Amino acid sequence: MSAKRKMFLANAALLGVAISWGYTFVLTKDLLEEIPPFYFLGTRFLLAALLLLPFVWGSLKRTGWQVWKMGIGCGIALWAAFMLQVIGIDLTTPGKAGVITGTMVMIVPFLYFAWARIPMQPGPVLGSLCAFSGLILLSWDGGWSGINIGDVITFVGAIFFAVHMVMVDRSYNRNVTFDALVFVMIQLLVVGIIDTGIAAFIEPFPHLGSISPYGWFAYGFDLLFGTLLAYIVQVKAQKYSPPTHVSLLLAFEPVFAFVFSWLLWGEAVSAAIITGVFLILSGVFVTEGFDMLRAKSKSPAPELKRSS
């Protein structure tokens, strides 16, 4: 198979991940009516890790403690991000949750500046201004009452997603060689163990017989397409697709989240909301587009950047 065809298939798979992640916002919103949030997250990530385990067992046995420490650290950040996101989805609309989560793209450059004093570029600054304006419009109803606690929690979750992205990137840039799927499995395992442990103490065990067929479909889709296959595809596709393609294609996640929420969940649409969504998505793509142009100007063939 030619390199061009491999890149096309990799890009198509990454777009499929973005579509799947966008759809999971609606599924999660509905599923939380049937399964408590911590049991949902805990079993989802624990099962994903166990399903991945047979494929990485050989590499896992050779994995050193330093990789485990990096994976546990990234896993804790990922746990915080998903915990806050799911709680936020339960308290706001899936479309707003998806769009607000997308602001993590603009947060990452600010974190790099805070942690490593990497200079801020015009793209992220302009993108952040667009996104902030969009967030105001998205939540504005003539007063600040349009902003609910779910929006705030989701935004804090977006900050933790950005923290996780930076931690993963810094892990890959260390002088340590390890299997990317092993690194993913460790993080999934951490999220699963923490959430399942919390659920055992504070939530009633869900009655499996009371879960509807749609609920089982939503759970299975979140487990397989929203978690396990999404991370596997992302790791594998980055072998054939440039990092600028990866980041731009995955940036479509909030677009699909809002579209699915509007079509399937009845997300309210008004001129202010549409303008707010447009500004936030513009901020995302301005940030990604600037990074793409900067990467191309620096090197005609940038190195592939792996992430979880």
- Residue 206 to residues 86, 203, 279: CA-CA distances in angstroms? 17, 8, 40
Greater model confidence, 300 or 256: 256
CB 102 within 8 A of CB 247: no
Segments in 140-237 forming alpha helices (H): 149-172, 180-202, 213-223, 229-237
pLDDT number for residue 296: 60
Cα–Cα distance measured from residue 206 to residue 119, given in angstroms and rounded to the nearest whole number: 49
Cα separation, 165 vs 104, in Å, equals 9
H or E segment to which residue 13 belongs? helix 3-31
The per-type count for the chain, helices as H runs and strands as E runs, is: 13, 0
Q: What value does the CA radius of gyration of the chain take, rounded to a whole number of Å?
A: 19
Residue 221: CB atoms within 10 A of its CB come to: 17
Q: What six digits make up the tokens of 136?
A: 């105001």
Average pLDDT, the chain: 84
Tell me which of 53-57, 198-202, 284-288 is least confident: 284-288
Provide the pLDDT confidence category of residue 304 given band limits of 50, 70 and 90: very low
Give 3-state DSSP helix, strand, coil % of the chain, rounded to 5.
Answer: 80, 0, 20
Distance CA 271, CA 189 (A): 43
> What pLDDT score was predicted for residue 217?
97
- The mean-pLDDT minimum among 195-199, 227-231, 250-254 falls in 250-254
Place of tokens 């793409």: 292
Higher pLDDT, 294 or 105: 105
